[in-house]
Amino acid sequence: MYNFLDKIFFRSRNLDYISQNLKKITLQTSANKIFEAINSYSEDSEVRYVGGCIRKIVKKETVDDIDLATNLKPVEVCEALKKNAIDFYETGVEHGTITAIIEKQKYEITSLRKDVTTDGRHANVEFSLDWQEDAARRDFTINSIYSDKEGNLFDPHNGKKDIEDGHIKFIGDAEDRIKEDYLRILRYIRFFVNYSNYKHNPEIIKIIKRNIEGISQLSSERLLDEFKKLTKSNSFLKLFNDEESLELIKIIFPQFKNLDSFKKINSHALKNIFKADFIFLISLLIVDGTDNTDYFFYKFNISKKDQKRLKLINFFYKETVNIKNFTEKNFNKIFYFNGRQAVIDIINFKLFTSSKVEKKLIRLIEFYKDKIRPTMPISANILMSQYNISEGKILGNKLKMIEDTWVHNNFQISDKQIQIIIKG
């Protein structure tokens, strides 16, 4: 049940595309099951869409995630989901967030709250029943728009108008908002690059620079996750034409030595940059022929698998590299020992960072996309049975020499070559 002030003053009935598209989300996704589960929990319980999904609908962007807010406490959200056989896990229950999973789609459901104390990284929260109170503690007006399942907006800070006009406004005092959570500096850059139609307010830039050291309090995971959202946005490349935002990114991520190279990228990079995965984009920013990649690993916690990808690219480009190095013969060894991804990463790095697009490199990528990793025709058992080599160090050395010769010769080796290696 909506409270009286909410209904009279802040709820707007929209029959336009915003309302219709919010209705479509309800009808065409499993979000409707969450609305049914929570709205039926009690007479006063309610859940609404919030934040990014509404913002993207207003801007006619693709909605790729759905966040919800509810006046139920986390324990009550869990009860409502359990009662309706909806799977969930407690993402950040201390901050009121439960993640529901329906048909592999994740929905973050956050209880209304107010921040009692903050330290720039974390907030101690108190759960609330007041939608206006929840809206007031959010960072930007464009992120404090709520909607029921029918597309009726609750927009106490006029966020819809700010999105449409291209204004990025903090809710309340900008410095207070930033000091509550320094990640909001990065969020400001992301929203500004994506939605602003104006120049930066010089006072906001001054406030950000005055507080930017607070970024050091944040975990590397939060920083990289927020930067990843920026790279996935349609307006990512606008960052490199916005000197104020670019300067802030350079301060926050000093390891991104190659940021300026994105100011002018070739046609291949322009066409494919939004298809590139995040780790490859990171390689374009940090690999520079120095130990900068190791410095990045020291500062940021990423998986061993992703570290390996970056190390392989970095190792290749630590040497003097020109187009003559990019041959099938040279890449066969990398392909065999390090896999398809390593070869494609290395070639793509050259394609993305060169002033001229070499068609030869594009053909190489297509070749290795379809190539199957070959199996060496000679095994230890064959050497022992046919050549009477006993198990041990000599066997291992001979097998390694045969393998190297086979790889070097485009995965071919003759009986004569094997004989020479055996007798040598």
pLDDT at 223: 96
What whole-number distance in Å separates Cα of residue 91 and Cα of residue 89?
6
The domain ranges of the chain are 1-172, 173-253, 254-373, 380-423
Cβ contact 112:130 at 8 Å: yes
Question: What tens digit of pLDDT does each residue of 177-236 get?
Answer: 999 999 999 999 999 999 999 999 999 999 999 999 999 999 999 999 999 999 998 899
Which of 70, 122, 117 lies closest to 96, judged by CA?
70
Q: What 3-state class would DSSP assign to 127? A: strand
pLDDT at 247: 97
pLDDT at 2: 46
pLDDT at 326: 86
Which phi and psi (to 5°) does residue 89 adopt?
-145, 160
pLDDT at 118: 67
Cβ contact 28:62 at 8 Å: no
Cβ contact 302:283 at 8 Å: no
pLDDT at 7: 44
**Which residues of the chain register pLDDT less than 70?**
1-15, 92-93, 117-123, 320
Quick count: other Cβ atoms within 10 Å of Cβ 312? Answer: 20
Domain 1-172: CATH architecture, name and number where available: 2-Layer Sandwich (3.30)
What whole-number distance in Å separates Cα of residue 132 and Cα of residue 155?
9
Given the DSSP bridges, would you call strands 97-102 and 87-92 parallel, antiparallel or unpaired?
antiparallel
pLDDT at 303: 95
CA end-to-end span of the chain, whole Å?
Answer: 87
Tokens found for residue 255:
């390891």
pLDDT at 227: 97
What whole-number distance in Å separates Cα of residue 99 and Cα of residue 108?
4
CATH dotted code for 173-253:
1.10.110
What whole-number distance in Å separates Cα of residue 107 and Cα of residue 127?
19
What whole-number distance in Å separates Cα of residue 73 and Cα of residue 262?
45
| Cα dihedral 133, 139, 141, 145 in deg (nearest 10) | -60
Which DSSP string do the residues of 235-258 spell out, in sequence order? TGGGGGG-HHHHHHHHHH-TT-TT
DSSP class of residue 309 equals: H
